């Protein structure tokens, strides 16, 4: 039994080093080195190359290095009996809350516009908004959305949520399902997308949805680029219905240089950094699942294959 790490970024060595340090008794390989493929039972992956998982005949589990698993489902060849796990971590949730709070405050106080003014040496005081003026609507009330709701409420925001199933969150109202979606949207001055990317949620941030938001709403997408129809967002910002957007995730990452989001004055972009899996915090949960796998016990944080999240 052994672990392979598959990720196509510069972090592969640091994850391997940290895993080996915490579990010197386990054989742990980078997929880039020579390794015995038939020994691999756990693949820890982040945006793995297409079809690579086929190479491991005795694979028993695929673990995402992040909260999202959409990139794993892109590989249609993964047998249904192999469980998929994901990261559910308070550090990841805390980081996401801090990031979204920063974007919201930046919008309320016009900080993005002042940066643009500064570069042009323009002195242009603008009207600002207050926390008490705003209702934040969170689409996706899972591990990250719920923590965000609690943190925003602590900071004085009115918060509402939307999910597939009803939830009890103190001082917040959570709408459920398609029948309650438009009521939820009509109350959201700031809309935060924290949905998983599935067949049902692909392209959900589109003109039809933007039309339901109050005038001058702000849209924050920290989930996946595939949730957003880029042209629809541009249309609704340019026609004045939306005040702007904060985007951390894109259809193609890095965002291609010619994409209009780069230069749009009302769009704040960041390079998929809202909340990044913390090595120290995530490694114990990867190893715990590995041990459970070897002992034949049920795994933590498994994904529902039917739902896709
Ligand atoms: P969870 O699986 O814990 O939560 C998902 C939530 O979305 C649930 O509340 C679920 O409803 C709801 N949901 C799913 N499908 C629908 C639908 N069709 N209609 C309405 N609600 C729906 O996910 P996490 O909170 O852990 O993570 C969310 C996403 O955030 C990840 O999938 C990932 O893509 C993204 N992410 C982005 C990061 C970044 O740095 N930008 C970092 C980490 C994650 P219910 O509760 O009823 O099932
Ligand atoms: C994740 C991410 O899904 O970083 O964890 O996007």
Residues with CB under 6 A from ligand 2: 66-68, 276-277
> Is 241 assigned a catalytic role?
no
pLDDT tens digit sequence for 12-58: 999 999 999 999 999 999 999 999 999 999 999 999 999 999 999 99
Q: Where in the chain is the domain with CATH 3.40.50.720?
A: 2-89+278-295, 90-269
pLDDT in tens, 161-191: 999 999 999 999 999 999 999 999 999 999 9
Tens of pLDDT, residue by residue over 48-89, are 999 999 999 999 999 999 999 999 999 988 999 999 999 999
The ligand 2 atom at the shortest distance from the C-alpha of residue 276 is 4
| CA of residue 199 to ligand 1 center, whole Å | 13
pLDDT on residue 121: 98
Ligand 1: which of 64, 65, 66, 67 to mutate, judged by most atoms within 8 Å of the beta carbon? 67
140 C-alpha to center of ligand 1: Å?
5
- The class level of CATH for 90-269 reads alpha beta
Mutational test site, ligand 2, from 277, 303, 309, max ligand atoms within 8 Å of CB: 277
- For the question of residue 272 being annotated catalytic, the response is yes
Q: Whose CA is nearest to atom 48 of ligand 1?
A: 164
Encode pLDDT of 113-146 as tens digits: 999 999 999 999 999 999 999 999 999 999 999 9
The dihedral through the CA atoms of 266, 272, 278, 282 has a sign that is: positive
Give the model's pLDDT for residue 288. 98
Q: How far is the CA of 61 from the centre of ligand 1 (A)?
A: 21
Mean confidence (pLDDT) of the chain: 97
Residue with tokens 């985007």: 247
Predicted pLDDT at 53: 96
CATH superfamily of 2-89+278-295: NAD(P)-binding Rossmann-like Domain (3.40.50.720)
What is the Å distance from ligand 1's center to 197 Cα?
Answer: 8
């Amino acid at each position: 039994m052994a672990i392979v790490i598959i990720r196509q970024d510069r972090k592969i060595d640091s994850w391997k080093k940290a895993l080996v340090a915490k579990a010197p008794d386990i054989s742990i390989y980078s997929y880039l080195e020579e390794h015995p493929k038939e020994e691999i039972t756990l693949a820890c992956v982040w945006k793995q190359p297409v079809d690579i998982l086929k190479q491991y005949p005795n694979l028993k589990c695929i673990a995402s290095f992040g909260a999202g698993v959409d990139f794993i489902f892109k590989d249609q060849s993964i047998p249904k009996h192999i469980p998929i796990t994901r990261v559910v971590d308070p550090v990841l949730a805390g980081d996401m809350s801090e990031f979204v709070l920063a974007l919201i405050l930046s919008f309320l106080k016009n900080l993005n516009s002042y940066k643009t003014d500064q570069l042009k040496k323009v002195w242009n005081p603008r009207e600002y908004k207050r926390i008490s003026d705003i209702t934040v609507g969170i689409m996706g009330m899972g591990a990250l959305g719920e923590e965000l709701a609690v943190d925003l409420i602590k900071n004085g925001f009115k918060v509402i949520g939307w999910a597939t199933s009803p939830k009890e969150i103190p001082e917040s109202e959570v709408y459920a399902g398609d029948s309650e979606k438009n009521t939820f949207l009509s109350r959201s001055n700031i809309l935060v997308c924290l949905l998983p990317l599935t067949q049902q949620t692909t392209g959900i941030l589109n003109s039809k949805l933007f039309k339901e938001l109050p005038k001058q709403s702000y849209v924050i997408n920290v989930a996946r680029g595939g949730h957003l129809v880029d042209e629809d967002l541009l249309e609704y910002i340019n026609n004045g219905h939306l005040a702007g957007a904060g985007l951390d995730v894109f259809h193609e990452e890095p965002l291609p240089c010619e994409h209009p989001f780069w230069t749009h004055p009302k769009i704040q972009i960041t390079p998929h950094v809202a909340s990044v899996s913390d090595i120290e915090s995530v490694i114990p949960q990867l190893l715990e699942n590995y041990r459970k796998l070897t002992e034949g016990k049920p795994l933590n944080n498994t994904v529902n294959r039917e739902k896709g999240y």
